[in-house]
Copies of this chain bind each other. A is one copy, B any other.
């Protein structure tokens, strides 16, 4: 299975062209849209989101992970094998948290280049063909070498910021809930937010935080939009009161 994690959007031409490449080069391999609205052109919050959601998928999954503001510039193209999953995309930190949390990982720099490479759409021209080959079980070692770059050792293990606003206005943090005391309160945009378990256990309109279905601490408002009610957006710092 190939899983797409990008900031490409779905309605326009980017995801569709990537899928056309995958369909041609890896026919019959299912392609799943995981995120098409990952933090736009911002690999740091995206890295925590990718790590949290990739862990839910089984070994053998190939992730095409592209949040790539430096496309066409000097950042390397990389492929990361981490605990049996592959991640293909730009070497700009996007895979940093996946790699750091993996028991076994190796990072390769992709040296292969397609006959025709656009300056602005490596997702289609470079990363998708590599992902297709990995999904078919083909080796890419001949087209890659151990990567010496692309790591971000200065990034924290958990990110105390909002990293994603979902379709309902819920605000995901880059904090793993299992690392927080169950009774901790979160503080964001000047508001203290108590813990909760389910939406129905909280009064309509009340904010709470909970462990979401992929393990992140997430701030929500029952029957409301937390982003609007609390003034939350990607990058807003989150404090923990224990």
Residues of A within 8 A of B (CB): 1, 3, 7-17, 19-20, 23-24, 27, 30, 32-37, 40-41, 53, 56-58, 69-74, 118-121, 124-125, 164, 166-168, 197-201, 210-214, 223
Contacts and interface: CB of A to CB of B under 8 A. Distances in A.
18 contacts: A1-B24, A9-B166, A10-B10, A12-B37, A12-B164, A13-B53, A16-B32, A16-B33, A16-B34, A19-B32, A20-B32, A69-B223, A71-B198, A72-B197, A72-B200, A74-B200, A119-B197, A119-B198
A136 B35 CA distance: 28
Given A12-B167, A13-B35, 8 more contacts: A7-B167, A13-B166, A17-B56, A23-B32, A73-B201, A119-B210, A120-B199, A124-B213
A57 B9 CA distance: 20
- Going nearest first, the 5 A-B pairs with the smallest beta carbon separation are A72-B198, A9-B167, A73-B200, A121-B213, A118-B213
Q: Which of A7, A16, A167 has the most CB of B within 10 A?
A: A167
